[in-house]
Structure 1
Amino acid sequence: MLFRKRTLILMLIDAMLINLAAFGSFYLRFEEGIPLDYYQTYYQTAIGGTILYLAVFYVFGLYNRLWQYASTGELLSIIYAVSVGTGGTVAAVYFYGLSNAANLPYIRMPHTAAIILWLAMVFLIGGSRFIWRILQENTYDRHVPGSQKQVLIVGAGDAGVLAARELKNRNYRDGRPVGFIDDNHSKQNLHLLGIPVLGTRKDIARIVKGHNINEVIIAMPSASGESVREIVQICEKSGVQLKIMPGVYDIISGDINVTPIREVQVEDLLGRDPVSVDLEEVAGYVAGETVLVTGAGGSIGSEICRQIARFNPGKLVLLGHGENSIFDIEQELRGEHPGIDYITEILDIKDREKVFLIFNRYKPGVVFHAAAHKHVPLMERNPEEALKNNVVGTQNLAEAADEVKVKTFVAISTDKAVNPTSVMGATKRTAEMLIQSLDLRSQTKFVAVRFGNVLGSRGSVIPTFKRQIAQGGPVTVTHPDMVRYFMTIPEASQLVIQAGAMGNGGEIFILDMGKPVKIVDLAKDLIRLSGFEPDVDIKIQFTGIRPGEKLFEELLTAEEGVTSTKHSRIFVAKPNGIDVKLLEELTHVVRERGSFLTRDEVIELLQTVIPAFRTKTAKAVVNQ
């Protein structure tokens, strides 16, 4: 009812404007008034034009638009509609005049009047619509609560415009944009949306002080991590609140779904380019398939489920050991993508009979294996559990996949599998070798994807750092030179799915992790982002390297080498020779003795398949 009332009001206004334009076109054509001979033509133009224009405007959708957000697209729609309406009116008047020429003298509509009519209609209809936009852009209520906060926007580009408009759309409740900062010298002293460009990043401190800035919004989605870090440090010294505008990719992909302006996070300082996923290629092997994800309740497994759900699988089997985490991801997915058939199964991947039962029951076409024990120090203290879960569990899944002829099996590995010094890393390398050996004799395509640390995952240092900062410190870092590769959870998950689409079988895909990050720098960044000064407000304490850890992680062994793929962020490690007999002997021993294996026996077993594997920390761990 509200829509009909609004449409009727707009049509009445347009009818008046059409008649005004018709009268004006004839009046301006004849400077001394409309001649009597042309009154009949004028009436035909006014009456016929009103009917035709209103019909055309309705068809072109001019009555179902929010004109306070009008842009060039709406202006083009008005021009197209007016052009069609004017053409129709001129044609109608012409043919009506011809059909009545026998009874009335035919006086055609002057060409000049037709041109003036078109111009007048564009001006009047366009002006009546854009007046709402003009009022919206120029409303500057100084009495809006909270409007005294002064905001500086870093970046006078598309993202900066979005940030400024976001503040305006909120009626300046979250602050008023005072100016822009941009390093492009050609933009200096110019205005954007009526807001001046005040200087470059070097001028931030001066501008913050001179304009009483309370908040800075970083609106540079393509900026490097170093650039963001530099701006963060400048702003923190100036004592202002800091927020950031995420990349457009984050908004489109759904990662940002509440507001595009948020607090700066550690991920922003990594400065990663958006991951591009070949949607058509991924949909080609996932859409309509039964997809099974192990470890579906974990940080990586749950994100893989979220990404897979976007591609409309026939069924999505959520397999995990923790009932609460599986319940949570199931409820989330049912809310976000209700049209998919979700199946939840609680099991331990070491339970061979149950694994085979599940695979035979659902016969998945694609499997993503994310379940694993991956906490390095904890697995040093429980090496037999790492061996059972990461090796025997993977073997159970892989052999079940082979039996039911799964099309693609993607195993999640780690950079700690390269030249491993930890039990966890050695078991993951053994798991890689297992699926490579099985690929040689199976119709299933078995591939592994290897990447480093994931920010925000359960094993990430970030939650630990945040908890320590909340407690007032100290923040504990194992070694000042400790370096790691980092990825975000969505980034890693998307690349894993993409790698699955690219695999021919037997490959180990390596994800481009970018530049390694020093853990101590990560800790300092997080302390600053929390509003404190490192080693002043929050101390950083070095605790020493933990069992199984090494200072630098690697993505490749010297023997593997790497070849590129069609995806710029994914590479393939060249396969090494695998002794299948030794692998079979290892898994046989684990199945026979499992929990009764001593630490030394676990180490010796792993060394049979990875001769270079050594653990210098075994004795130290035993003595703890």
Structure 2
Amino acid sequence: MGYRTRLSMLILVDSFIVMASIFVSYWLLMPTMDGLPMAIVVSSIALFICHHLFAHIFKLYKKVWQYASIQELIAIFKAVSFSVLSIAFLQLMVFGTMFTRTLLVTAMLHILLIGASRFSWRLYRDTKLNLDKEKKRTLIIGAGNGGSLVARQLMNSEMSELQPVAFIDDDPQKQRLELMNIPVMGTLDEIEDIVIEKDVEHIVIAIPSLCNSDLNKIFTKCSETGVKTQIMPSVEDIMSGKVEVSQIRDVQVEDLLGREPVELDTGRIGEKLTGKTVLVTGAGGSIGSEVCRQVARFKPEKLILLGHGENSIYDIEMELKNTYPDTVFDPVIADVQDAERMHDVFETSKPDVVYHAAAHKHVPLMERNPHEAVKNNIIGTRNVSMAAHEAGVTNFVMVSTDKAVNPTSVMGGTKRIAEMIVQHMDTISDTTFVAVRFGNVLGSRGSVIPLFKKQIEAGGPVTVTDPEMTRYFMTIPEASRLVLQAGSIAEGGETFVLDMGEPVRIVDLAKNLIRLSGFSTDEIEIRYSGIRPGEKLFEELLSKDEVHSEQIYPKIYRGKTPPVNIRVIEELIRTFERETNENLSGQINDIAHFRIRELRRLSAAK
């Protein structure tokens, strides 16, 4: 129906209602009088004009009536009230009196008929939707503001496949009540009985203020019913316009971590980044690319995307250009192992801030390729940090790992040596050098989550190394925020550590992913494969001699910095480089393993 046709129909219907209201009220109250008094004729004409005037003012003809609610009813009340008051004033001025009872009945009929004409449109639409489309019977957990928003959106959306049939809420004051004609049937402890009673096919968790640990408990209860469970978007995403309330999403493993994410001190970070030139190494990797996204939010003058893989650098450049068209992005294809190239890049770009995220991080792979671990993690860090020092960079932040604590692996040993290089550079340079240490990152390349997902998609088994193996976990955005925050509060030489809560058993993570994928552990087998070379059962974030008990920022600790014997490190690196240049490629890994053991002993020395 076109706009003009719709407008004409509404004006025609309203005109009939206006005239009918005043004449019906006249005949109801004065049935014995012959003819129409002049006052009624004048009042009916004036009411006709006033109604359309105030209908225009309060935009009654521009409302989308198929979504009519209390706000539309208020608009009708205002338009009718001002119209009738205008007629009352006219009668008083022209005839010296008001037909009070007639006006009151006219107003009531006016509101009743106008409201009925509008809300019948919504009633027809809702009834037609329910008849035309087979929808899944949906249970909403949470009968508060979030639950009512979700229910309204699901009921009003033509595209939605979900039909709310019941609420669950632990608030005793809401029990046995109704919200939008949908009953609040019980508490979370009764969920299995309610699912059976109402023949529920879908569950939506609609409590925006829910913390992760409580969400974990609720999701566990829901998963026991065997019904698909989803969650409403966060309040932040709804308010920012990223998503709509109706865009229900699957529960992610990040939602079940059991702790709240780290918040940024945006003011302090903005002082360091806004209007500055920022360089990120490893910009195409999981952490590096997210660091770039976080940095771009603070409107740097230029963001240099340095990486070895051309495809990943191209992808992050295109993404950032589309999102932040006013920022200059400079993609640089380079290898941190090339000292001369690093020097040239830094001298040309003159960055103010550097985030060094380029590294080899896969523990088993580095056990088999220690030579590459040394070149990338140690020599690469030396090259980048020296280039930063010579170029007069203000802040240098290196991304490290919990595996650098009392290292048992090649990857951990090389990252610990890289930390020591950064700590030493802080003592000889005007640049502020710091390291940021965190645990496993959910969803990053080579992490356990993508592997588990592939194994589940293939029907199992899901392979876990040991039933007692635990790890600290964080999300990619959390890791990147910590990197930015560390750079803003750094004084120089520190190793920053995130309070990552309690470590998570890998087998529990696997079980959660299996449930999130809609399966049970009876359907997807979990198989134990044994600990791999270089792996620990339990990871640490700080060794005993590094621990500072106080937080310097919410959820961020600063580790102590033991003295570094840089001469020994430099001699080992020179020996490594000389021996690898003199020997055949087949001997390189043996030499690397020998030197790694020396480096590991050095890094563990007190």
* TM bucket, shorter chain: 0.7 to 0.9
Aligned to 1:481: 468
Equivalent of 1:167, from 154, 179, 185? 154
Tell me which residue corresponds to 1:615: none
Whether contact under 8 Å (1:22, 1:46) holds in the other structure is: no
2:133 pairs with 1:145? yes
Q: How does 1:28-177 map to 2 (within 5 A)?
A: 53=54, 57=58, 66=64, 68-69=66-67, 127=115, 131=119, 135=123, 138-139=126-127, 141-147=129-135, 149-171=136-158, 173-177=160-164
C-alpha distance in 1 between matches for 2:245 and 2:354: 32
Q: Deviations over 1:33-71 (max 9, x none)?
A: 9997999999889868966x478547xxx7766555566
Instruction: Kindly report which structure 2 residues correspond to 1:134-533, keeping only aligned pairs within 5 A, or say none.
Output: 135=123, 138-139=126-127, 141-147=129-135, 149-171=136-158, 173-223=160-210, 227-251=214-238, 260-533=247-520
Q: Tell me the alpha carbon deviations over residues 308-341 of structure 1, each in whole angstroms, 9 at most, x when there is no partner.
A: 3333332222211112222222222233333332
Q: Secondary structure at the match of 1:571?
A: strand
Structure 2: how far apart are the matches of 1:304 and 1:452?
16
- In structure 2, the CA distance between the partners of 1:47 and 1:467, relative to structure 1 (3 Å rule), is closer
In the alignment, is the contact (CA less than 8 A) between 2:474 and 2:500 conserved in 1?
yes
* Matched pairs, number: 594
Residue 222 of structure 1: CA displacement? 4.3
Q: Is the 8 A contact 2:414 2:599 kept in 1?
A: no
Specify whether residues 525 and 324 from structure 1 end up closer, same or farther in structure 2 by C-alpha distance, changes over 3 A only: same
Unaligned runs of 5+ in 1: 98-104, 613-624
Relative distance call for 1:70 and 1:145 in structure 2 (3 A) is closer
CA-CA distance at 1:389 after TM superposition:
0.9
Which of these residues, 566, 571, 580, is aligned with residue 557 of structure 2?
571
Amino acid at match of 2:343: F
Q: Does 1:599 align with 2:585?
A: no
* 62-71 or 271-280: bigger deviation: 62-71
Q: TM-score w.r.t. structure 1 length?
A: 0.80
1:601-616 alignment runs, 5 A limit: 601-611=595-605
Q: Residue 553 of structure 1: CA displacement?
A: 1.0
Evaluate the alpha carbon distance shift between residue 46 and residue 211 of structure 1 in structure 2; reply closer, same or farther with a 3 A threshold: closer
Displacement of 1:453 after TM fit?
Answer: 0.7
Give the match for residue 538 of structure 1.
524
The amino acid of 1:603's aligned partner reads R
Alignment pair present for 1:560 and 2:533: no
Give the deviation of 1:398 after TM superposition. Answer: 1.9
Q: Counterpart of 1:464 in structure 2: which amino acid? A: L
SS in 1 for 2:284: coil
Contact map agreement 1:146 1:173 (CA 8 A) in 2: no
Assess if the C-alpha contact under 8 Å between 1:402 and 1:444 holds in 2: yes
Q: CA deviation at 1:365?
A: 2.4
Give distance in 2, aligned partners of 1:112 and 1:285: 71
- Point out the more displaced range, 124-133 or 294-303: 124-133
Deviation for aligned residue 1:196: 0.8
Equivalent pair of 2:395/2:432 in contact (CA under 8 Å): yes
Greater shift after overlay, 208-217 or 489-498? Answer: 489-498
Query: Which amino acid is 1:189 matched to?
Result: R
Question: Any conservation in 1 of the 2:212–2:260 contact (CA below 8 Å)?
Answer: no
Give the root-mean-square deviation of aligned CA atoms.
Answer: 4.3
SS in 1 for 2:544: coil
> 1:258/1:158 Cα in 2 relative to 1: closer, same or farther (>3 Å)?
closer
SS of the aligned residue for 2:165 comes to strand
Give the distance between the partners of 2:395 and 2:566, measured in 1 at CA: 21
Unaligned runs of 5+ in 2: 582-587
Distance 2:58 2:397 in 1: 55
How far apart are residue 174 of structure 1 and its match? 1.3
Deviation, structure 1 residue 600: 1.1
The alignment partner of 1:282 has SS state of: helix
| Inter-partner Cα distance in structure 1 for 2:15 and 2:186 | 49
2 CA distance for matches of 1:122 and 1:305?
Answer: 60
1:422-480: CA deviation from partner (whole Å, max 9, x where unpaired): 22112222222222222234333322221111111112111111222233322211111
Kindly provide the amino acid, as one letter, of the partner of residue 520 in structure 1.
V
> Against the structure 1 CA distance between its residues 406 and 22, is the aligned structure 2 distance closer, same or farther, given a 3 Å change threshold?
farther
Q: In structure 1, the residue corresponding to 2:463 is in which secondary structure?
A: strand
In structure 2, the CA distance between the partners of 1:108 and 1:456, relative to structure 1 (3 Å rule), is farther
| Amino acid aligned to 1:545 | I
Q: Which moved more, 1:122-131 or 1:179-188?
A: 122-131
Contact kept, 8 Å, 1:394 with 1:431, in 2: the verdict is yes
CA distance in 2, matches of 1:372, 1:311: 25
Aligned to 2:585: none
CA drift of 1:485 comes to 0.9
Indicate how the Cα distance of structure 1 residues 476 and 44 shifts in structure 2: closer, same or farther if over 3 A, else same.
closer
Cα distance in 2 for partners of 1:172, 1:276 equals 35
Superposed displacement of residue 136, structure 1: 8.1
Asked whether the equivalents of residues 231 and 251 of structure 2 are also in contact (C-alpha less than 8 Å), the reply is yes
State the TM-score, normalizing by the size of structure 2: 0.82
Identity among equivalent pairs (%): 48
Residues 598 and 586 of structure 1: CA distance in aligned 2, closer, same or farther (over 3 Å): closer
